[in-house]
Structure 1
Amino acid sequence: MTENLSSAAEGAQAHRTDLRVFKGVEAWIFDLDNTLYPHEADLFSQIDDQISLYVQKILDIGRDEAMVHQKALYHEYGTTLRGLMEKHQIDPDHYLEFVHDIDYSGLDPNPDLGRQIEALPGKKFIFTNGDRPHAERTAAALGISDHFEDIFDIVSADLIPKPNKETYDKFLGQTGVSSARAAMFEDLPKNLKVPHQLGMCTTLIVPRGSRSVLKEGFDLERDTYPHVDFVTEDLTGFLTAVNGALAG
């Protein structure tokens, strides 16, 4: 596994022998935000701002205090939503509608990504801590909606977010996916720990231009990231290489 980390690459540079580990995968599971669209699209920053504004309004506090409180809840409960439910008994439906009221016009259609997702053998899923309407709008803006079997959102997870193991178990139970024949793509390393434990092949999506820095960190602290098999800053290029390896 550490060999995968030290040699992981994306696009045309992907190592064919490494990518053969995807042979036999029958379910391809994608996180949504900062995974199916690039981090530089800056869509999630709008959601982050909306979350802070929601906390500010609900608790009647200033913006700076709201941002601090938001982050504290996120780190303690996994999502700000879960923290607000536990500590302030907020209405989750109202929260989800409010924080996902954003502008999607900055997302460009990505037909190349759509073609590579479509070419993957088996079923494809979106698995997100956001809600289904947000996932549907995002996928529509990217032009990739038709390539997914289903969306497993925070409501499907009974509002218990990744990385809680029970959420992954619920996903597997509802979809019938075999974890030993699944691959998961995520932008948060902590959300790949359970998938790795369950036997999935894991790929971490990082912001463009950051992979070389992160690779050095992985090489220096390999034991810290045993749950990450591959690292890429180019999901489309990486899937192109995976499809090429599967066809070989």
Structure 2
Amino acid sequence: MLDHIENWIFDLDNTLYPASANLFAQIDVHMGAFIQDLLACDAAEAHRIQKSLFHSHGMTLPGLMAEHGVDPHDFLARVHDVDVRVVTPHPELAALIARLPGRKFVFTNADAAYANRVLAQLGLSESFDALYDIHALGYVPKPQAPAYAGLCAAHAIDPRKSVFVEDMARNLVPAKAIGMTTVWIDNGSEQGPGDARDHIDYTITEVSAWLTEVLAAQETA
């Protein structure tokens, strides 16, 4: 059922590496410290503000930009100053992605500097045709519809010939709306989508195992 796919689009965090690496724990610490310094508040208040902005703007950064005039480059440099060595290299995944027919993309709400560090740690630096990051998104993150339109326009992607693999089920809703085949990674990194599953075509637990199945089916078809 994936023979029509020409574009393979992957989220980065908790998608190309296991959620157990928990890079977000490090990012959360830096984000909280940034907000404490910015607004001269304690850790509890910084956490409340962070989560409020995440829910109201889809991501903490656009909220800080809109409400507090934060420079995105300063913010991202600080919060992404993490130790990516907690991520285990995955040469098998690199080999699988190399065998996929068509183009391959990383579509992330993170910035390219951080994403490239993670990809290098995984051994995936040469695996993708392009990386579409938060700067390219104009700080309008997934799951807002313009993020998906921008990706498709920038790289001449036909969404009907594309598959999007993502650990956050809500980020698959706009992808499905424009015709993408959607794959949700149910790996514990977020609460499940509940009963609303019409936007999910495939549910998997790990990318490399799924790609192994996909390639085996294509090669025996």
TM-score over 0.5 (shorter chain): yes
Measure how far apart 1:206 and its partner are: 2.2
What is the TM-score with the length of structure 2 in the denominator? 0.96
Unpaired runs of at least 5, structure 2: none
- 1:66 aligns to what? 46
**Identity within the alignment, %:** 37
Structure 1 length-normalised TM: 0.85
1:88 equivalent to 2:88? Answer no
Kindly provide the CA deviation profile for residues 97-144 of structure 1, in whole angstroms up to 9, marking residues without a partner as x.
Answer: 111000011111101111111111100000000000111000000001
Conserved in 2, the CA contact under 8 Å of 1:34 and 1:44?
A: no
Q: Secondary structure at the match of 1:51?
A: helix
Query: Partner of 1:181 in structure 2?
Result: 161
Take 1:243 and 1:56, find their aligned partners in 2: how far apart are those partners?
A: 48
Q: Distance in 2 between matches of 1:55 and 1:206?
A: 31
Equivalent of residue 55 in structure 1, options 35, 39, 64? 35
Q: Does 1:23 align with 2:7?
A: no
RMSD: 1.6
After superposing on structure 2, the runs of 4+ consecutive aligned residues of structure 1 that deviate more than 4 Å are none
Q: Does 1:45 align with 2:17?
A: no
In the TM superposition, residue 56 of structure 1 has moved relative to its aligned partner by 1.1
CA distance in 2, matches of 1:205, 1:38: 10
Give 3-state SS (helix, strand or coil) of 2:89's partner: coil
Question: Between Structure 1 and Structure 2, which shows a larger proportion of helix residues?
Answer: 1
How far does the alpha carbon of each residue in 1:57-79 deviate from its partner, in whole angstroms, 9 at most, with x for none? Answer: 11110001101110000000001
Q: Which amino acid aligns with 1:151?
A: L
Instruction: Work out the CA distance in 1 between the residues paired with 2:139 and 2:84.
Output: 24
Say which of 221, 230, 236 aligns to 2:202: 230
Distance 1:236 1:131 in 2: 24
Give, in whole Å, the separation in 1 of the partners of 2:214 and 2:32. Answer: 39
2:26, 2:218 → 1: CA distance?
37
Matching residue of 1:193? 173
SS at match of 2:41: coil
Matches within 5 A, 1:1-248: 21-207=1-187, 221=195, 224-248=196-220
- The one of the two structures with greater contact order (alpha-carbon pairs below 8 A, sep at least 6) is 1
Matched residues, number: 220
> Which amino acid letter does the alignment assign opposite residue 219 of structure 2?
A
Superposed CA offset, 1:207-234 (max 9, x none): 26x9xx95xx86xx2xx11001111111
**Alpha-carbon distance in 2 for matches of 1:59, 1:170:** 33
